[in-house]
Amino acid sequence: MIGTAKGLFLARSEDDRRTWEISGPEFPMTGVYAVAVDKRGDQPRLFAGMTSSHYGPGLASSDDGGRSWAEPDHAPIAFPADTEASLRRVWAIAPGPADQPGRIYAGVEPSALFQSDDGGTTFELVRGLWDHPHRPNWGEGFGGQAIHTVLPHPTDGAAMLVAMSAGGVYRTGDRGATWSADNTGIKAYFLPDPWPEYGQCVHKVARDPENVDRLYAQNHHGVYRSDDGGHIWKSIADGLPSDFGFGIVAHPYRGDVIYNFPVTADGMRFPAEDQCRVFRSTDAGNTWEALTTGLPAGPYYGVVLRDAMCADDSRTAGIYFGTRTGDVFASRDEGESWTRVATSLPDVLCVRAASL
């Protein structure tokens, strides 16, 4: 699934990810900022969150692999009247743990978390986070003020982590009733106090698949790891050409393996050193290597946004990324080599991949 600034494109491969067939756009002239594949049920359900600048946000699902899409008659995600807030955009769609098959989370703009217990047909605002005393002070990044990362704990159904720009990382251990800001060690260089309790502009957080208390974060300058479930963070940016970027991806089942696409700087949003390179660490961020085989060799100017890199769930993991210049690349060998899946698409905002 390839969400772009002008609709959703689908890429299908029938030959173990060697060649791809592109279709779309679905939802033309909408920005598709969030897509997801939920494989917990009898059949995979695809989700797409789209925003029309004219007609507002929406959330659609497909139970036939993206061949047809449906939106409920009612608005699936809507702020209650007493909040006086209106949904601007869905930024994250996250299926819940395996033992909660109907549970779907949505992170949205303005910063709020919604949850569904009927597979994504209706959602309810998570009041514990909406009523958090920090909320009036949460800031706004260039992309808006949104919860863009939702990481349910894979084994503890009461625990989860969200991240927002700006605001940082928040965690709950009691099913969303209460939340704590957990940003110790993450720098907010753009604030007078660069080490606040909250207010950091965390761009993305990924969870290690083997050590579920190990987390990785790409910050608005800064790349970090937490080894205690997200409480304390330490830098793992040494070895990267830049500590700026948007996305960070964990290998789907190999611990300590992560992927990153460095961007030069906040004020210079081009790929680091103008090169189209993915950086991989196989030791939880202690060292990094550039992966370039099959990627464009010359100067390259399309950056990878926070959700525009992902892994699939195949036995030999595939890694994918799309750029703001409309290219999509895939690796069927965990990043060793890459092929171009699509080119000249609209700005790629998000990608997700799965075997169906």
Partner 1 sequence: MITILVPSALRSDVDGAARLEMPAGGSLAAILAEMDRQWPRLGRRICDEQGQLRKFVNIYVDGEDVRRVEGLATPVPDGAEVQILPSIAGGAVG
Q: Which residues make up the interface to partner 1 (CB under 8 A)?
A: 5-6, 29-31, 52-56, 71, 73-75, 78-79, 81, 84-87, 346-347
Nearer to partner 1, 6 or 214 (CB): 6
Identify the three-state secondary structure at position 81. helix
CA angle 121/105/312 to nearest 5° reads: 105
Query: Shortest distance, CB of residue 32 to partner 1, whole angstroms?
Result: 11
Residue located via tokens 């950091």: 200
Nearer to partner 1, 75 or 212 (CB): 75
Nearer to partner 1, 56 or 294 (CB): 56
Query: Shortest distance, CB of residue 139 to partner 1, whole angstroms?
Result: 22
CA angle 160/56/179 to nearest 5° reads: 20
Nearer to partner 1, 59 or 129 (CB): 59
**HSE-CB of 326 using CA atoms within 13 angstroms:** 8
Nearer to partner 1, 55 or 301 (CB): 55
DSSP secondary structure letter of residue 347: P
In contact, 60 and 37? CB cutoff 8 Å? no
Nearer to partner 1, 85 or 232 (CB): 85
Query: Shortest distance, CB of residue 57 to partner 1, whole angstroms?
Result: 9
Nearer to partner 1, 81 or 297 (CB): 81
Identify the three-state secondary structure at position 160. strand
With a CB cutoff of 8 Å and minimum separation 6, the contacts of 51 are 30, 31, 33, 57, 58, 88, 89, 90
In contact, 280 and 292? CB cutoff 8 Å? no
Query: Shortest distance, CB of residue 114 to partner 1, whole angstroms?
Result: 12
CB atoms inside a 10 Å sphere around CB 210? 12
Residue located via tokens 């099959």: 294
Nearer to partner 1, 130 or 259 (CB): 130
Query: Shortest distance, CB of residue 347 to partner 1, whole angstroms?
Result: 7
Query: Shortest distance, CB of residue 40 to partner 1, whole angstroms?
Result: 27
Q: Is 315 left (phi over 0), alpha (psi -120 to 50) or beta?
A: alpha
What does the alpha-carbon distance between residue 27 and residue 9 come to, in Å, rounded to a whole number?
9
Query: Shortest distance, CB of residue 129 to partner 1, whole angstroms?
Result: 18
Query: Shortest distance, CB of residue 90 to partner 1, whole angstroms?
Result: 14
Nearer to partner 1, 107 or 346 (CB): 346
Query: Shortest distance, CB of residue 75 to partner 1, whole angstroms?
Result: 5
Identify the three-state secondary structure at position 246. coil
Nearer to partner 1, 83 or 314 (CB): 83
Query: Shortest distance, CB of residue 74 to partner 1, whole angstroms?
Result: 6
DSSP secondary structure letter of residue 306: T
Host H or E run for residue 130 = helix 127-130
Instruction: Extract the tokens encoding 290.
Output: 């550039």
Residue located via tokens 């994250």: 92
Widest CA span in the chain: 54
Between the CA atoms of 75, 307, 32 and 124, what dihedral angle is there, to the nearest 10 degrees? 0
